[in-house]
Structure 1
Amino acid sequence: MPALTDVVDLVHGWYPPAIAAEWDRVGLTVGDPTADVRRIVLAVDPVQAIAREAIDARADLLITHHPLLLRGVSTVAATTPKGRVVHELIAAGCGLLTAHTNADAPAGGVSESLALALGLTDLRPLVPYPTERLVKLTTYVPAGDAEAMRSALAAAGAGRIGDYDSASFSSPGEGRFRPLAGARPAIGSVGRFEVVDEVRIEAVLPMAARQAVVAALLEAHPYETPAYDVVEVVGEPAADSGAGRVGRIEAVSLTDFAASVAHALPRTAHGVRVSGGRDDRIETVAVLGGAGDDHLDDARLQDVDAYVTSDLRHHPASEFREHGGPALLDISHWAAEWTWLPVLRAKLAESLGDTVEVIVSTTCTDPWDFRA
């Protein structure tokens, strides 16, 4: 049977943590990487009801889409809701693994799962993402230290492009500065202007290597306060990775399409809210799992007939429709993202075989209970 670390590696292979949003908190939250895994429960939210469901099922691992500790906390005492989840999972020997924004965009991720659940075909990303998130680092060093700096950056992972490594660009120039009181300059003296022959060095690197490369830069740089910057660069778009999905269905009225969406998703009090003419023809559809306000303009530019997403706010939705946007279908956030769980279950079952039982939770954790 696999160890917890083996399952984590599988999930991270499909949904790399490096592609998660910078504000996100994904990966292993609770658990001993060396522990055996015999049973896994999948859910959207790591709330107490789900934790207890996993414990009652004698699961060794709970995998959720939403993080438990997304925002900073100063305590996980059992007197707090998050603390109770942590304590109960640890006491039961059940780990907690999160795949959130890193699971939204890839093939087999949340948005693609939602599109397939709604019957869309000929899928493509609504907003294609690069095949790899890349950044460019630029720094400036005295000419005599340029080769040592290039070597340090390359050793830390900068400049690897395709079948090449140590790729960089250098250009000469002048560095100007004046050390102030309290400084310990490597070149020059306090209070005097200095002009130094410097080399500007630029190198591209994966976003995931950024911290290691910056640390190498700071270690190798001769200056007390080196100048550098890191900016994200646009890479080649991937054919199967990106925010949301666009696909096609057999042409139907908006009324019939909305009914099919309601039928395809787990039932919630939220239901399906619709903006558009009941008899509008729907054939090309954009979807985005989770909150989709940020991609309203992208849906408009794709010239789709309808946009299906969650958590649409009054003013953005109103302005979108007033300015000629397509029909809107606002669905439950939980229901949209739940469609990913059966897809994840199938991927785990295919990789782990019958050594591990994988259970999809059907407990509705949508926060709304009924409509008055």
Structure 2
Amino acid sequence: MPALKDVVDLLHGWYPPATADSWDAVGLVHGHPGARVDKVLFAVDPVLPVAREAADWGADLLVVHHPLFLKPVHGFAATTPKGRTLATLAGADCALLTAHTNADQAASGVSESLALALGLSDLEPILPAPEGPRDKLTVYVPVASADRLRDVLASAGAGRIGDYDHASFSTPGQGRFRPLDGASPAIGAVGEIETVAEERVEVVLPRTLRAHVVAAMLAAHPYEEPAYDVVELAGAGLAETGTGRVGNLAPTTLREFAARVAGALPETAHGVRVAGSRDRPVRRVAVCGGAGDFLLDTMAGTDADVYLTSDLRHHPASEFVERDGPALVDVAHWAAEWTWLPVVEARLRSALGDTVETRVSTLRTDPWTFRL
């Protein structure tokens, strides 16, 4: 059974808090890092019914998309809705973690999950994110300890390149050293020159994780004072992550695509609203999980046949349609973002195996309850 810190490190490795928007509030909201985690529940909204579901199920961690405290507060008394939610979780010893805008842009994040749920292929970000600064760590380790050290580096967040992790490069060689008085060598004796078969292991890592990765390496390395160096890499341009996703779909019509959307997303009172000709050909589709009207100007100049998002307002949508750009599909905010939950749940299960039990909440927390 992993500790809460181990689960948080995994989630933060996939959805780094440093990539969240400056106004956002993400990360661990409540819980002791050393607590054991046996059950993890995933939901979109940290609301009281979800907190009660987590408590009744015996969850040790609730992972949500939307922040409980997006704006600063001076307290969270149980006389308020947010206070009652947190009190329910705390009373059940259930930790709370938020992955919001850091999960929106990421690989296997909200927009990518939405695009895959709709069957899109050849995905690209609508707005690619600038690649964050990266380092390369080189460390020398005895051959017998090299595999374990590579695993430790990967678990700490190093060696992730695009859709691959555990990426490293190794070359064999000989390490030579002489322990001096006061040393406690893991190999060799004080005053004697020692030669050891070693591997030179190289990994790349986000610069934001430098201290964390180096600390993990030092803790796992068998040597008392291992030799290593960290080199800052030059920027390589745009990353594979970013805002929204655009991809391809087998030729269809706008009406048929809207029906596909209705079938792929959880049912809500909002339904699926469409602006455009029913028979319009659709081959290329852009999506943005959550409120996406900030991308309308960008979408007007793309080759997308349709843009799917949530929370479109009357005037921006009306003006966009007049520009003869892509058709518009507006879906419930909650439903679009719910598609991420099975993805992150499966990812955590794959990483931790049967050491944890996971569950996706099916409570409909969309605020709209019925429509006439």
Fold equivalence (TM over 0.5)? yes
| Residue of structure 2 equivalent to 1:226 | none
1:282 maps to: 282
Question: Displacement of 1:86 after TM fit?
Answer: 1.2
CA deviations over 1:38-95 (Å, ceiling 9, x no partner): 0000000000000000001100000000000001222200000111111111111000
Distance 1:269 1:77 in 2: 32
Asked if structure 2 preserves the Cα contact closer than 8 Å seen for 1:19 and 1:133, the reply is: no
Please give the alpha-carbon distance, in whole angstroms, between the structure 2 residues aligned to 1:345 and 1:208.
Answer: 24
More displaced 10-residue stretch of structure 1: 317-326 or 41-50? 317-326
Query: 1:251 & 1:9 partners in 2: Cα distance?
Result: 41
Matching residue of 1:19: 19
Partner of 2:250: 250
SS in 1 for 2:59: coil
Residues 140-151 of structure 1: pairs in structure 2 closer than 5 A? none
- How many residue pairs get aligned? The number is 277
Q: What letter corresponds to residue 20 of structure 2 in structure 1?
A: A
* Structure 1 CA distance for aligned equivalents of residues 55 and 301 of structure 2: 46
The structure-2 alpha-carbon separation of the partners of 1:318 and 1:207, relative to structure 1 and needing over 3 Å to count, comes to: farther
| Runs (4+) off by over 3 Å | 205-209
Q: For 1:75-94, list aligned pairs within 5 A.
A: 75-94=75-94
Distance 1:305 1:296 in 2: 13
Alignment of 1:1-372 (within 5 A): 1-132=1-132, 236-238=237-239, 240-372=240-372
Paired with 2:73 and 2:132, the residues of 1 have a C-alpha distance of 31
Given that residues 44 and 65 in structure 1 are in contact (C-alpha distance below 8 angstroms), is that contact kept between their aligned partners in structure 2? yes
Return closer, same or farther for 1:270/1:323 CA change in 2, 3 Å cut-off.
same
Residues in 2 aligned to 1:299 and 1:109: alpha-carbon distance in whole angstroms = 20
Output the CA distance in 1 between the equivalents of 2:69 and 2:58.
Answer: 23
Q: Is the 8 A contact 2:307 2:327 kept in 1?
A: yes
Kindly tell me: are residues 133 and 313 of structure 1, through their superposed partners in 2, closer, same or farther at Cα, counting changes over 3 Å? farther
Q: How much has 1:133 moved relative to structure 2?
A: 6.6
SS at match of 2:89: helix
3-state DSSP of counterpart to 2:6: helix
Q: Distance in 2 between matches of 1:69 and 1:127?
A: 28
What's the CA shift for 1:339?
0.2
Q: Note if contact 2:5-2:34 (Cα within 8 Å) is conserved in structure 1.
A: yes
Q: CA RMSD in A?
A: 1.6
Give, in whole Å, the separation in 2 of the partners of 1:304 and 1:330. Answer: 15
2:79 maps to a residue whose letter is T
Distance 1:53 1:305 in 2: 40
Q: Counterpart in 1 of 2:147?
A: none
Structure 2 counterpart of 1:300, one-letter code: A
Q: TM-score, normalised by structure 1?
A: 0.72
Describe the shift of the 1:304–1:360 C-alpha distance in structure 2 as closer, same or farther (beyond 3 A): same
Would the aligned equivalents of 1:3 and 1:36 in 2 still touch at CA under 8 Å?
yes
Retained in 1: the 8 A contact 2:251–2:282?
yes
Which amino acid in structure 1 is aligned with residue 294 of structure 2? D
User: Residue 123 of structure 2: SS of its match in structure 1?
Assistant: strand
SS at 2:318 equivalent: helix
Aligned residue for 1:323, secondary structure, equals: coil
- Could you list the per-position Cα deviations for residues 258-308 of structure 1 after superposition, in whole angstroms to 9, with x for gaps in the alignment? 000000000000010000001100110000000001111222222210000
Any idea what SS the aligned residue of 2:125 has? strand
Asked whether the equivalents of residues 276 and 328 of structure 1 are also in contact (C-alpha less than 8 Å), the reply is yes
State how far apart, in whole Å, the 2-side matches of 1:58 and 1:299 are: 44
Identity level (%): 61
Query: SS of the residue aligned with 2:286?
Result: strand
CA contact (8 A) 2:300 2:323 kept: no
The answer to whether the Cα contact below 8 Å between 1:287 and 1:307 also exists between their aligned partners in 2 is yes
CA–CA separation in structure 1 for the residues paired with 2:42 and 2:209: 27
Query: What amino acid sits opposite 1:347 in the alignment?
Result: R
Conserved in 2, the CA contact under 8 Å of 1:18 and 1:208? no
Say if 1:38 and 1:356, in contact at 8 Å, map to a contact too: yes
Distance in 2 separating the partners of 1:83 and 1:208: 33
Does the CA contact (< 8 Å) of 1:132 and 1:235 recur in 2? no
d(CA) in 2 for partners of 1:288 and 1:326?
Answer: 14
Deviation at 1:206, TM superposition (A): 6.4
TM-score (norm 2): 0.72
Query: Could you give the per-residue CA deviations for residues 121-157 of structure 1, whole angstroms, max 9, x where no partner exists?
Result: 11111110012179xxxxxxxxxxxxxxxxxxxxxxx
The letter of the residue matching 2:332 is S
